[in-house]
Every structure is written in structure tokens, then in C-alpha cells.
Structure 1
Amino acid sequence: MSRLAVGLVGWGAIGRTVGTALAAGRVPGATLVRVVDNRPLGDALAAPQSSVEEALAHCDVLVEAAGAGFVREWGERVLCAGTDLLVASTGALTDDELAKRLLAAAPGRVHFTGGAVGGLDLLQAARSMGPLTEVLLTTTKLPATLEQPWMDEGLLTRLRTATAPVEVMTGTARDVPAHFPRSTNVAASVALAVGDLDSVRVRVVADQAATRTRHVIEAHGPFGSYRFEVNHLPDPGNPATSQVVPHAVLRGLAALAHSPGRIL
């Protein structure tokens, strides 16, 4: 079978790790052939830097590692061009209309990665037996990674001076990712597994003493109760991203590279 030609969109904390691993041959059956990034990146890239249009002409799959904005602007065009799209910024899928358009677009296929959270397969299985009656996600991060342009001075001061954990926001998996587009992809991933954005409650907590990013998922239904907790070291170059995320992307690429249904 031909090798999977990969285009990488974004050369940040996620993209550099994914691109370096691909260039080193750590994903058998997959090759990095293009890097898409609007910034001047120099000559140290693992593959030629190009526009999205040029990447579509050379790639079987584009890996989104640039944020939800790329999914909104380019997602449908990528899929309609016949190129698959692996989405890391699952928060983009909290937009129902966008999600419907992406799932309906063809001949390319859209794929998602759970990123920094596990247990999604069990939540999907539990959901298949009947609706879950309660799903709560509590995400705790360093205050600096949660600061947003919409915050008023009062909230920003609380975040910067608090000596104890501060609840920054509570809402549904539809609402919260829109307010924290780079910090709450886990909320979207859980909601996609559960199948209902509005049934997943999300608490975002800032903790100055947090040395790790913590996600706690609690779910209850007629057939059982479930609790998952993950504690990740943040990426030193971008503390809003957990170090494990690019490795989840690489795992997704490995699955695509060896999928018997892949047509090249």
C-alpha cells in the first residue's frame, strides 16, 4: 500500500512534535510532505512550507494543529478537494452547523482525536445503552493559560492574585469552548462521545498551584457510574496544551496509515 502523505497545518507546540516524529519515521506508513503556516519558519522544517492549496494537491490528509479557526475557514474545502482532515481542535465541532457541513462533505473524510482525555470509548458504549443522566467535566489549569480578551478587570485580578483555586466559568460543552477556544477541547471531545453538547456540564477552574493540567470526568446513567481523572504535564512552550496531545495526533495518523479502508 502507498504511504500516507501528510500535510501539517501549524508549526507550534503540537505541530513541531508531530512533524519531527513523522520526519524521523516514527509513524510507519506515513510521510510528512508539506507544512502550512503563515509565519516565516526558515529552513529547519521537516518538509517544504506551502499554502493550503498546494498542500491539497500533494497530501492524502491534513492535520489541523493551528486552532479552530482553520477548521471553520478551510474544513469543507479540504474535504471537498478529496483530502482527509484530522482535527485536533475539537472545540470547533461545538458549532452544530459547521459539524453538520463537515460530516456531509465529501469525498474527503473528517477524523477527530481525543487529545488529552481518555475513556471516550467507554462513554460511547454507555451512551449506546441509554442516555446518560449526568456528565460533569472539571478542568483545572494555571490561571495564565485561561486569561481571555472578554474577561473584565475584576476577573483578571482574581485570576492573577488568588491563592486558592478559582472557578472561572461553568456552563455546557456548547458554551464553554466558545469562551476558551484553545483550552477546552477536552469538553468538546467528551460531548462528541456522549452525543449531546448541552447535557455535558463543564467547570473551568484556575489554580496557581497547579503543576499539571487536570481533567476529571464524572458520568452517571441507568447502567452505571464512571469517573476518569487525567493529570498532564503542560507543554513548556505552550502551557495551554498538554504534552500528550501531539502523541494522540500521531496515534491517529498511525491508525489512518494502516486502515484497510484507505484509498489512495
Structure 2
Amino acid sequence: MNTVRTTKVGLVGWGAIGRVVGGALAEGAVPGAELTCVVDNRPLGDAVPAPQRTFEQAVDACDLIVEAAGQGVVREWGERVLAAGTDLLVASTGALTDEDLAKKLLAAGPGRVYFTGGAVGGLDLLQAVRAMGPLTEVRLTTTKLPATLEQPWMDEELLGRMRGATGPVEVMTGTARDVPVKFPKSTNVAASVALAVGDLDSVRVRVVADPGAVHTSHVVEAAGPHGTYRFEVRHRPDPVNPATSQVVPYAVLRSLGAVVGRTGQIL
């Protein structure tokens, strides 16, 4: 009789994403995955359904670390997690716009690194099209509430336009290499699209602030010799952290289910 192996999961981050992911894991929502511990730099007490541990303790005790705490965690801990033989599931894909870091993570081991698409769809199709030949054009337009896009580097003129806007305001244009660095908590989608097409510089990104944005929207448009493609997703922002969409933790859970080998799922 075969025994199904349980994957011991350490969750990093107890914010808008981590709370949903951790609660679902504790309730057994992902067969084959067990929430072993939670890592957070704040004392959480009884707020978490598993013991709170240091990062070092989590790496030693777990088979898989789920990052739900931001790009800085990936930069600081990614290589060390993989070198210890522990797998890593990355939610903050914007960290991978640092090509040196991306190369180090992909070369590290024996642990394996996985990524989740988060708030955007169609990435599997873009990967399939890319296999037939390079795309000639890829564009992403992300629209969010102005307050979720404010950053320390912005000057008073731009902040004034965003805060006083009565309609959509273009905040930044650039590539998938440039934009996630400027918006580390709210443009991981740009990095996810770039990872799918295999080229940070070919993905043109436009960030828009709209005070009337009831939904966060991401519009992906791509074209190449084999066809043209357009995907649009419109999500409700998370009520606790409007910089992320409500769907993101569920995308993480889906990716986690695929990693631990849940059956009956399209990968």
C-alpha cells in the first residue's frame, strides 16, 4: 500500500496574502500540504494556526517555504533556502527582474524554486506561443487606486496629480525590468508576464492611477507571427491591503496544490 507523503510547509508573511493562505492550509484545503510554521518579524501570538518560527528554524523544519512577504525576502533568503535543500514558492515575482538574482536562484539547489502567476491569467498560453517563436510586441496596462501606487521616489508634482485626479492618470511607463523596481508591492504582474515571454525588456508596461477604479485591472496584449492575444482581468482589491488583489492568495494556494502533486488539476 502506497503512503502519500505530506509536504511540510513554512509560510513567510502574515499579511493580506499570508492570512488567507495560512488559514486554508490549517483547514486542510490543500491535500498533501501541512502548515508547519509561520515566519514573520512581528510577534503574532495566538493569531496564527501554527507555531511562529525564525526563518532558520523554518528552513530546517520544512520541505517547502511559501513566500508571501515581499521581494526583499526573496533577495535575502532565496538562495539560502534552496541551498539547504528546501523548495521555495515565490509570490513576489517582481524580485526576479533582478537578473543576477534570478540566475542565482535558478542555479541554486538542491531545493527547487517555483513561481505563481498571482493576479494575471494567460501566462501558459504566452509560454506556448513563445515556444513557436519570439513575440514581436507585448504590452501590459495596470490600473489601480492612486493611494496604492504612491511611492517615496515620486515628486510633489506627480503626487499632486495623482491625489487630485478625477480620472485616469498615467503614473509611469517602462519595461518589465524597470517598473517592478519602482512599485515593489503592486506590480508583480509585470514580472510574471515577462517570465512567461522570457524577456524583461520586451514587455512594455504602463501604470495608471484611477480614483474610480473599483477593480484593479491588468490588460495584457501580445502579438507575433503566429497570432494576436489579449487578456484582461479585473479584480476586487483586498480590503485590508488594496495594493494586492483578493485573488492572489488563492492563486498561491493553486500553485501550492500543483507543487505538492494534487491530482485532477491543469498545470
For Structure 1 versus Structure 2, the TM-score category normalised by the shorter chain is: over 0.9
CA positional deviation for 1:259: 6.8
Aligned equivalent of 1:231, options 224, 231, 234: 234
Residues 55-93 of structure 1: per-residue CA shift (max 9 Å, x gap):
011100000000000000000000000000000000000
2:210 paired with 1:210 = no
CA positional deviation for 1:164: 1.2
Does the 8 A contact of 2:31 with 2:262 survive in 1?
A: no
Aligned equivalent of 1:91, options 87, 90, 94: 94
Which residue pairs with 1:59 in the alignment?
62
Letter in 1 for 2:200: L
Does the 8 A contact of 2:145 with 2:212 survive in 1?
A: yes
2:45 paired with 1:42 = yes
Amino-acid identity (%): 76
Letter in 1 for 2:8: A
2:190 paired with 1:183 = no
CA positional deviation for 1:44: 2.4
- Equivalent-residue separation in structure 2 for 1:259 and 1:110 (angstroms): 18
Equivalent residues in 2 for 1:72-221, closer than 5 Å = 72-221=75-224
Residues 42-62 of structure 1: per-residue CA shift (max 9 Å, x gap):
112110001011001110000
CA positional deviation for 1:94: 0.3
Letter in 1 for 2:225: P
TM-score (norm 2): 0.96
Secondary structure of 1:132's partner?
coil
Secondary structure of 2:11's partner?
strand
- Equivalent-residue separation in structure 2 for 1:44 and 1:232 (angstroms): 27
2:240 paired with 1:243 = no
Secondary structure of 2:213's partner?
coil
Residues 85-123 of structure 1: per-residue CA shift (max 9 Å, x gap):
000000000000000000000100000000000000110
Letter in 2 for 1:159: M
CA positional deviation for 1:40: 1.1
Letter in 1 for 2:21: V
Secondary structure of 1:242's partner?
coil
Letter in 2 for 1:42: G
Secondary structure of 2:45's partner?
coil
What is the root-mean-square deviation of aligned Cα atoms in Å?
Answer: 0.9
- Equivalent-residue separation in structure 1 for 2:112 and 2:64 (angstroms): 9
Structure 1: give runs of 5+ residues left out of the alignment: none
- Equivalent-residue separation in structure 1 for 2:256 and 2:61 (angstroms): 17
- Equivalent-residue separation in structure 2 for 1:211 and 1:259 (angstroms): 34
- Equivalent-residue separation in structure 1 for 2:104 and 2:185 (angstroms): 22
Which residue pairs with 1:11 in the alignment?
14
- Kindly tell me the number of residue pairs found equivalent between the two proteins: 260
Letter in 2 for 1:210: A
Letter in 1 for 2:63: D
- Equivalent-residue separation in structure 2 for 1:146 and 1:119 (angstroms): 24
- Equivalent-residue separation in structure 2 for 1:178 and 1:253 (angstroms): 26
Letter in 2 for 1:156: L
TM-score (norm 1): 0.97
Secondary structure of 1:246's partner?
helix
CA positional deviation for 1:257: 1.5
